[in-house]
Amino acid sequence: MPLPLYADEAVSGQLVKMLLERGWDVVRAVDVFPAGTTDEQQLEYAARENRVFIGVDEAFLQIGRRWHREGRHSSMIVWPRELNGKLTTGGFLRVLEGLAKREDAFDCSIVHIKVK
């Protein structure tokens, strides 16, 4: 079953569209918050709504790691911006679908997709 997602504004609209077409429950940042909303507020929303944050901003990864050290829960999938040019939208979709199939998908709270 697909994970409920919260997509940062930098996530490709094409990826969001493909996820929605495949039955994923996706809330986009641009539909919830005005421009200028802090990264922390966005992560707080995703955590409160039990959504997995997906995004391409390394600042979110730093906040997630800090929260983990503080004992706060957040689930996120983050990748560096340079991966956008190396992995197709379909490739991102396959990664997300693969994660959703794992029983332990979010036993750990942060998945960092790295450039290889």
Domain boundaries along the sequence of the chain: 5-112
Question: Averaged in consecutive runs of 10 residues, what is the pLDDT profile of the chain (116 residues)?
Answer: 84 90 93 91 91 84 87 79 72 81 65 55
- Answer for the pair 81, 39: CB distance below 8 angstroms, yes or no: no
- What's the rounded Cα separation, in Å, for the pair 55 and 39? 11
How confident is the model at residue 106, as a pLDDT?
57
Q: What angle do CA 80, 35, 6 make, to 5 degrees?
A: 55
How confident is the model at residue 59, as a pLDDT?
84
CATH class label, 5-112: alpha beta
Cα dihedral value 65, 69, 71, 77, nearest 10: 10
Using N-to-C axis directions, what is the helix angle for 13-21 and 89-101, rounded to 10°? 50
Query: What is the value of pTM for the model shown?
Result: 0.83
- Answer for the pair 50, 106: CB distance below 8 angstroms, yes or no: no
* Contacts of residue 93, Cβ cutoff 8 Å, sequence gap at least 6: 15, 18, 19, 22
